[in-house]
Chain A
């Protein structure tokens, strides 16, 4: 029945749904997880890497994390080639703003402008929506540190903690119980590892498969720090010890 209404992106179904948009979100539901937590002194982004063939040549520092401007970074979940287009567009938007106003683009404005573009693919043109959800972490002088999430429909919202990609529902329910207001980065990073460990239970969590970055403010500058592999290995083994101890109880 829905077959009739799902091949054209620009058609509503009789039940008032946009099937192409929903199918795009399905695609993301099978992609590598991205988790974001907004702490009082920084933001942590944890991503599951899917492409881990040892023959791969490391040209880029990160697979899922991208720097958008001096004050914003994002992580992506979904079709990588679609993500590349969107990240490129985000960088253009941010630089165009900077050219005109000679100040870094405020976070919400950047997210909002990209989402307006994503929305057009759900309303006209006949092209399919982008199969990407993004998490944005950044700082601006209006609202300080912020975490946003956007999806193929062009909707976005601000979050204290959120998750996209595979097993995001499980991660969200854990976050709902474990996230505490005023959490610091020192506690948020192990919490992120804990959740990634939990949801990647099927395929064991290793430092190879994880990308973790923190966004902080110091000396009037925004810093994105990618946690090095050794530190990740240490954090993961600490988490495994704790998990084993909890199991024994």
Chain B
């Protein structure tokens, strides 16, 4: 029942995610953050099983930090994305697969390019201009298709994001009260205002 969405621009990637923490029909928390900074230029938004998500995201974060400590430089965005993908690909082939879908927003400081990776729990990965996980994706992708352009500004991207949220509010059965929004650019990871539906 989670929903995450990412939009990539010329020099930024915006990630937004619902803030519900629910188990079956019970809503435990309405302001739960499901995004994690993996390093200064990598932001991970996870959807799926809550416990698995925390395990997975923290394990990845610590290993990416370890790489940086060992080598003196950050893991590059493409390397990190592939590392995460392989971790999930190995997980699905194990006795206890992780049920976690990921959107990875990255800024590569060497090539100076923003990047958005769509990775699912089976370890499939795609580099995309925009993406979404969850049922909400069915409502959102068509809207972004209609309004997206690579050169759009951050405000324009946010307004498209808001259009998606309005649509979800109207037509999706699950009530999301608020959305956590963050952006990754050359300066790092920044928190933007929450969007209240």
A residues contacting B by CB (< 8 A) are 99-103, 106, 108-109, 141-142
Contacts and interface: CB of A to CB of B under 8 A. Distances in A.
A141 B110 contact: yes
Contact of B71 (A102, A103, A106): A106
Interface in B54-94: 70-71, 73, 75-76, 78-80, 82-83, 86
B85 to A, nearest CB: 8
A187 B86 CA distance: 45
B79 A101 contact: yes
Contacts of B110: 141-142
B82 A102 contact: yes
Given A141-B110, A142-B73, A103 B78 contact: yes
A100 B78 contact: no
A148 to B, nearest CB: 14
Nearest to B90: A100
Contacts, number: 25
25 contacts: A99-B86, A100-B82, A100-B83, A100-B86, A101-B75, A101-B78, A101-B79, A101-B80, A101-B82, A101-B83, A102-B78, A102-B79, A102-B82, A103-B76, A103-B78, A103-B79, A103-B82, A106-B71, A108-B71, A109-B70, A109-B71, A141-B76, A141-B110, A142-B73, A142-B110
Contacts of B73: 142
A102 B73 CA distance: 17
Contacts of A109: 70-71
Interface residues of B, number: 12
A141 to B, nearest CB: 5
Interface of chain B: mostly helix, strand, loop or mixed: helix
Nearest to A141: B110
A149 to B, nearest CB: 19
A189 to B, nearest CB: 30
A103 B79 CA distance: 6
A71 to B, nearest CB: 14
Contacts of A106: 71
Contacts of B82: 100-103
A222 to B, nearest CB: 16
A101 B87 CA distance: 11
A100 B80 CA distance: 9
A108 B70 CA distance: 11
Nearest to B81: A102
Interface centre among A101, A108, A141, by most chain B C-beta atoms within 10 angstroms, is A101
Nearest to A104: B79
A142 B68 CA distance: 13
Given A100-B86, A109-B71, 5 more contacts: A99-B86, A103-B78, A103-B79, A141-B110, A142-B110
A100 B60 CA distance: 13
Nearest to A103: B79
A28 B5 CA distance: 59
Interface centre among B70, B80, B82, B110, by most chain A C-beta atoms within 10 angstroms, is B82
Which 8 A-B pairs rank lowest in CB-CB distance, beginning with the nearest? A101-B79, A102-B82, A103-B79, A101-B82, A100-B86, A142-B73, A141-B110, A101-B83
Nearest to B79: A101
Nearest to A109: B71
A103 B73 CA distance: 15
Interface string B110-133: 100000000000000000000000
A99 B83 CA distance: 9
Contacts of B70: 109
Contacts of B86: 99-100
B164 to A, nearest CB: 31
A106 B86 CA distance: 19
